[in-house]
Structures are given as C-alpha cells and as structure tokens.
Amino acid sequence: MREIEGGVCAPRGFRAGGIWCGIKAGSRKRDLALIYADTPCVAAAMFTTNRVKAAPVLVSQEHLAGGILRAVIANSGNANACTGEAGLAAARLMAELAAGEFAIRPSEVAVASTGIIGVPLPIAAIESSVSSLADSIHPGPAGHEAALEAIMTTDTRKKAAALEIEIGGKALRLGAMVKGSGMIHPGMATMLCFITTDAAISRELLDRALRGAVRRSFNRVTVDGDTSTNDTVIVMANGEAGNAPIVSEGPDYALFAGALETLCVKLARDLARDGEGATRLVTVSLNGAVDEAAAELLARTVAASSLVKAACFGADANWGRVLCALGYAGVDFDPAAVDLRFAGAAGEILVCKAGAPVPFSEEEARKILSQEEIEIRIELAGGGTGAAVAWGCDLSYDYVKINGDYRS
C-alpha cells in the first residue's frame, strides 16, 4: 500500500472539476463541483442519521437504490436543507442538469450540498452554469483540486488522499476528498466525502467495506456534538483496474477493505484537525474495555466532552474531566482500575493510576499538551481486550466566533 497523488482523479476513468457560479452572495470561491466516471460504476453510500435530512440526501438515497452511478454534483454555500418541496425539486433538477450534459440517466447522478440551512437554493445560478461545470472536468490533479475547493465551506485545510494497492498482479487505486469542519459528530459521517476506485468489486462487498471503514473512522470523529442534515459518503467503483472481480470475502477483499479503512482514517484525522477554531488534534486511545464497541463509546465520549476539549485548548492537565466523561458514557467499567497518560511529541506523562492521582510535573504536562497534536491514553486495568481510537479537537474562542455569525 502506498500513497499517491491525484485524489478522486487518481483511479483510472474518473474526471472532476469545479467552478464559481455565485451561490452565496459576496463570495467568489468555487462553489459547484462535479465528479464524473467515464463508465458506469457500482456504488455504495451512507447518509446522515439525523431525522431532518436535506433534499440532496433524500434524492441521492433514491438514486443510490439502483446501485449504479456515473456522477456526483455538489455545491457549497447552501445546504438545501429544510427547504420543503422547492428544495426537493431543486435537488432533482441538479441531477437532471448534470445528466443532460453527458446523456446519462438522472438516477445515475448523486447530489450533495453543504452550507446554510433553511435558505432556498439559488438553483438558477446552478442551472446557468452546469455547461461550464461539465467543460471544466479534467482527469488529472487539477480537476480534483478544483472540485475539492468547490465543496469547502469553513474548512481551512484541503482534505484529500489517494492510495495504490496490488491485488492479483493488478494495481488498484483509491482516491477521496472530504469537506467538514463544523457540525462534526458521530451518527454516520458528518461531512461530505466522495471516494473513487478503479477496483472491480461487487456492490454488496463495496457496501460492506464502506460501512466497516466508516465505523472505524468517520464515526469516531467529533468536533462539536452536532450531526449535520447533509452528511454523505459515496464510493464509486468502475472496475477499470482489470483485477479479477472481488465477489467473496477472502484475502483480496481484506486487502481492499483495509485500504479503504486506511484512507478513511486519514481523512477522519484531517477532519478533527481542521475543526472550527481548533488549535490541536486530540486523539483518545482506550484499551481494556470488554469489547470494541464499549471501547469506542468510551473513547468517543471523552473526545466529545466540552470540558475535556476546553482543557486541551488551555493545555491544562485536568485529568479528572477525562474520568468524569468516562463515567457518563453508559459503559460498565471499574473507576478504580483506570490509568491515564497524556502524550505527544514532547513526551508522555502518567497523571492517574488506578483511578487516583499520582505526583507529576505540571510544567511537563503543560509542555506536552501545548503541542499541535496530543493523545489521551486510557488503560482499563484488569478489563477485557476491547480497544478503540477516537479523534477530536480542542474547543477554542474562535469556535463561537465562527458560528456566531455563520449565517451572515
């Protein structure tokens, strides 16, 4: 497995592009993106678990039911959520417009939107720009970069990755882009993520691999406790790598699923690092729970704690907040069997042993917690073999500033 360049355009047979069409007043940033496959793809997807679902989510759910996609059209600047029947009509029209440019069926086009909730989508701006969007797509890194910029909102970093693996003597590639900075919390994936691959794989196994990858990556990220109305993860596989189709679980499937999980974990970390107002990436690793599910819930609860996040922002070794968060996670464990360490590039320090304080240097702890990336390491002594990792970020003053005037 090796990292390569090109994002969603790294796999063979995919093109992408992005343009500015004027969705959000006063902005000249690219805001309309397209990913296009030269041949039909088997596709799988996961969507928000929020009961309030944006129009593009509802339309894409309908289209993904057929299991075949050729394109994804996405916009930023407006979520097209809570917009009623007009919003549904606009989302369907987006698919129809993109399909018309390539003489494919609207059901072969997925739709995604991100931005302000509760504001009608200015569909006329999209309608007048789709031809230019179709003309902008490119098979190389430039196409990927343009599409990635077009889906970003409050993101401060571009988040993308691509990998190459070998199966049966054939080189298979996977590429992805993701946007997300706020409204990030487990419940599905809590952002927009588009993944392409030239692997030949059945839809059933593609779906299984995606669900496993999301469970151990995007569903373990939390920024602010809010699950969006627009969460979408889509993977498209066109089979152009020429490998023997992966149609059963075995070594080939395990290798592909592992690569997909690796890709998603990298992007999940990038999401947490780019949390709105964040100054630190916080990794919570937990060992010794009764099983993986319990370990995951415990780790996620610590990562989501506002008090833990605030302490990380202040580089304050307030380890009691970590134990407090473990205690309300709803998981049975022995509080008197918890060991806790803070770690990072500046070292590692034990701050709690068997659920009780131990002498430690506050100065050393502050030095460790002042790094850009820090880790909270939790061991449940005498517990089980369950282990999990969750990712979050600190909670800074800037989070309130960003979200206090987001709509304006």
User: Residue 181: its pLDDT value, please?
Assistant: 66
If pLDDT is split at 50, 70 and 90, which confidence band does 148 have? very high
If pLDDT is split at 50, 70 and 90, which confidence band does 172 have? very high
Residue 406 pLDDT > 80: no
Whole-number Å distance between alpha carbons of 304 and 221: 9
Q: Is 279 a catalytic residue?
A: no
What does pTM read for this prediction?
A: 0.90
Average the pLDDT over 293-297 and give the result.
96
User: Residue 382: its pLDDT value, please?
Assistant: 77
Q: Please give the share of the chain, as a percent, with pLDDT higher than 90.
A: 82
Catalytic residue among 83, 153, 190, 222: 190
Residue 390 pLDDT > 80: yes
CA nearest neighbour of 114 among 59, 224, 36, 191: 191
| Pair 200, 245: CB distance under 8 Å | yes
Separation of CA 154 from chain center = 14
User: Residue 27: its pLDDT value, please?
Assistant: 86
User: Residue 226: its pLDDT value, please?
Assistant: 65
Residue 51 pLDDT > 60: yes
Return the number of other C-beta atoms located less than 10 Å from residue 13's C-beta. Answer: 18
| Pair 80, 55: CB distance under 8 Å | yes
In which residue ranges of the chain is CATH 3.10.20.340 found? 281-404
Return the number of other C-beta atoms located less than 10 Å from residue 296's C-beta. Answer: 24
Cβ-Cβ contacts under 8 Å for 277 (sequence gap 6 or more): 395, 396, 397, 398, 399, 400, 401, 402
Residue 290 pLDDT > 60: yes
Q: Which residue has the tokens 């720009």?
A: 129
Cβ-Cβ contacts under 8 Å for 343 (sequence gap 6 or more): 349, 368, 374, 375, 377
Residue 163 pLDDT > 80: yes
In whole angstroms, how far apart are CA 262 and each of 208, 211, 218, 258, 268? 15, 13, 11, 6, 10
Of 4-8, 40-44, 206-210, 217-221, the one with minimum mean pLDDT is 217-221
User: Tens digits of per-residue pLDDT, 331-352?
Assistant: 999 999 999 999 999 999 999 9
User: Tens digits of per-residue pLDDT, 86-105?
Assistant: 999 999 999 999 999 999 99
**Mean pLDDT value across the chain:** 93
CATH architecture of 281-404: Roll (3.10)
Whole-number Å distance between alpha carbons of 393 and 276: 9
Residue 357 pLDDT > 70: yes
Residue 408 pLDDT > 60: no
Average the pLDDT over 246-250 and give the result.
97
User: Residue 122: its pLDDT value, please?
Assistant: 97
Whole-number Å distance between alpha carbons of 199 and 170: 9
Average the pLDDT over 43-64 and give the result.
95
Average the pLDDT over 286-290 and give the result.
97
Average the pLDDT over 27-49 and give the result.
95
In which residue ranges of the chain is CATH 3.60.70.12 found? 2-271
User: Tens digits of per-residue pLDDT, 231-244?
Assistant: 899 999 999 999 99
Average the pLDDT over 162-183 and give the result.
91
Whole-number Å distance between alpha carbons of 95 and 108: 8
Residue 187 pLDDT > 90: no
User: Residue 407: its pLDDT value, please?
Assistant: 56
User: Residue 188: its pLDDT value, please?
Assistant: 47
Average the pLDDT over 389-402 and give the result.
85
Residue 123 pLDDT > 50: yes
Quote the longest CA-to-CA distance of the chain: 70
| 3-state secondary structure at position 52 | coil
User: Tens digits of per-residue pLDDT, 207-225?
Assistant: 999 999 999 999 888 876 6
CATH of domain 2-271: 3.60.70.12
Whole-number Å distance between alpha carbons of 146 and 74: 12
| Pair 175, 14: CB distance under 8 Å | yes
> What angle, rounded to 10 degrees, do the helices at 55-64 and 84-102 form?
50
If pLDDT is split at 50, 70 and 90, which confidence band does 360 have? very high
